[in-house]
Amino acid sequence: MPLNFPTFRPSSNPQLAPAETPVIQAPEMPLVVGLDIGTTKICAVVGMRNANGKVDILGMGKAVSHGVNRGTVANIELTVKSITEAVNEASTASGVDIGTVNVGIAGQHIRSHQQRNMLTRHDRQTEISREDVDRLRTEIFRVPQQAGYEIINVLAQDYIVDGEKDITNPVGMSGITLEGMFHVITGSVGAIMNIKRCVERANLEIEGLTLEPLASAQAVLGEDEKEAGVVLVDIGGGTTDVAIFHQNIIRHTAVIPLGGNVITHDIQEGCSVLFDQAEALKVRFGSAVAHSNMANEVVSIPGLRGREPREVSVHTLASIITARVKEIIKHVQFEIRNSGLEKRLSAGIVLTGGGAQLRNIKHIFSVLTGLEARIGDSREHLGNVSEEFKSPVYATVAGLVLTSLAEMDYRDKARIKTAEEEELSIDQQSKNPPGTIVAEGLLGRLLRGLGGLLADPDLNQHNRH
């Protein structure tokens, strides 16, 4: 989905533009805003690219998410309240009035499939243009989808020109038949409308919807990993998002309806504690692997209303967590097999999201999948940011900012190229008046030469004698 980017004005509210915050002039500094509407938190971030090509985060705001369940809006009013709180905090931190945002979308309603399209060109002599490729992609949006679903994005995978396969960029090539394979991402119309309604009720405009695993991939994956073959696993609060790349092309995406909150609920029930206590136990003492040396370790939980403290075994805690993590890994393995790339993932698995902070999570993923795993964060793309923001927890919202800036760069390059082509065309017209042959093929030159011979009066006179 093409993204149009917002312009920002300095805040007119003194409370949103404190004296120590520099005034930002929008025409000189292109800014973008990412809005991550998650199950556990809602986060808004204002970012811009610096002179070194890194991204500076000018302001961040976050709020507890009360109205979202497994990535899907369950309560409009509560979600709007959380969005407003996060955006206001980001505005205060950056000194910028936020009017438009790039929104991340996920949830168990997200689906994806492959779609092929073809167009026939009428002139082999002219090059395949960017307009031809864009038209091939745009036509996919007109293909009817399953009832109740609509297309969120269409991502090119590869192209075929006159039967020649595995072409990544056909622009500039010659050919009559242009085919393309596209990765089509769809979502529930109702779920998408609810997200849009929440953002609009928060007095914001949506400039684009970005699938959250793709945003996270933009933040934590290297180009070499995407080329070699890699699985991104973003373990969020409500869902686990999967994106698989190979040869620098997105090959498969999926949303697994299990996340960190499910683990917390398991601890709550298994240890008979409150949800907040279960979350604290998971974060401070939890482990994705249960070791025998944990058997004698216990954690004391304060009792309710004067009751005696409750003791929780660290080994029991780890066993509960391990059982659920293994289930998540089984779902990830299913998606890997479903992609058909299980033997071509040289870069292994990259874990990110809040669940990636769980102790020993990298080890258990490596053991059970047989693939090397690492924890991914966005620090290599970031410039002036706090240490907190470099955490895997903020990979998705960092990716939303990076995705928006990348799209902005793409549009700027396209605009420059179009201007250069127009200038060249005008220059050629000035040097070659109407009727002048600028360029012709070999056949054209032969026919023109033959025509000249037939029109030679001396040759015609000789033939009559």
Domain at 126, CATH number: 3.30.1490.110
pLDDT at position 458: 55
- Look up residue 70 and give its amino acid: R
Burial call 119-131: b when 16+ CB within 10 Å, e when fewer = eebeeeeeebeee
Looking at the fold, whether 269 and 334 belong to one and the same domain comes out as yes
Q: Is 279 contained in some domain?
A: yes
Asked if 91 and 78 touch (Cβ cutoff 8 Å), the reply is no
Give the domain-ending residue among 372, 390, 408: 390
Looking at the fold, whether 283 and 176 belong to one and the same domain comes out as no
Asked if 255 and 216 touch (Cβ cutoff 8 Å), the reply is no
Domain assignment of residue 296, given as a range: 221-390
pLDDT at position 98: 92
pLDDT at position 309: 86
Asked if 86 and 43 touch (Cβ cutoff 8 Å), the reply is yes
Q: Is 150 contained in some domain?
A: yes
Q: Is 140 contained in some domain?
A: yes
Looking at the fold, whether 119 and 253 belong to one and the same domain comes out as no
pLDDT at position 108: 87
Helical ranges in 254-313 per DSSP H:
260-271, 275-285
- The number of folded domains in the chain is 2
Looking at the fold, whether 176 and 232 belong to one and the same domain comes out as no
Distance CA 106, CA 110 (A): 6
pLDDT at position 294: 80
Looking at the fold, whether 143 and 265 belong to one and the same domain comes out as no
Domain at 239, CATH number: 3.30.420.40
Q: Is 85 contained in some domain?
A: no
Which pair of structure tokens corresponds to residue 30? Answer: 């292109």
Looking at the fold, whether 238 and 169 belong to one and the same domain comes out as no
Looking at the fold, whether 320 and 248 belong to one and the same domain comes out as yes
Give the domain-ending residue among 390, 411, 427: 390
Q: Is 286 contained in some domain?
A: yes
Q: Is 206 contained in some domain?
A: no
pLDDT at position 411: 72
Asked if 120 and 133 touch (Cβ cutoff 8 Å), the reply is no
C-alpha angle 379-245-174 in degrees, rounded to nearest 5: 115
pLDDT at position 431: 62
pLDDT at position 430: 66
Q: Is 76 contained in some domain?
A: no
Per-residue confidence in pLDDT tens, the chain, 465 aa: 344 434 444 444 433 344 444 544 434 557 899 999 999 999 999 999 888 888 899 999 999 998 998 889 999 999 999 999 999 999 999 999 999 999 999 988 999 999 999 999 988 888 999 899 999 999 999 999 999 999 999 999 999 999 999 899 999 999 999 999 999 999 999 999 999 999 999 999 998 899 999 999 999 999 999 999 999 999 999 999 999 999 999 999 999 999 999 999 999 999 989 999 999 999 999 999 988 778 788 998 887 777 788 889 999 999 999 999 999 999 999 999 999 999 999 999 999 999 999 999 999 999 999 999 999 988 888 887 788 888 899 999 999 999 988 888 777 776 676 666 666 667 666 665 555 444 444 444 544 555 555 455 554 554 444
User: Ramachandran region of residue 419, left (φ > 0), alpha (ψ -120 to 50) or beta?
Assistant: alpha
Looking at the fold, whether 161 and 303 belong to one and the same domain comes out as no
Q: Is 74 contained in some domain?
A: no
Distance CA 95, CA 448 (A): 68
Looking at the fold, whether 280 and 352 belong to one and the same domain comes out as yes
Looking at the fold, whether 230 and 352 belong to one and the same domain comes out as yes
Looking at the fold, whether 380 and 310 belong to one and the same domain comes out as yes
Looking at the fold, whether 230 and 307 belong to one and the same domain comes out as yes
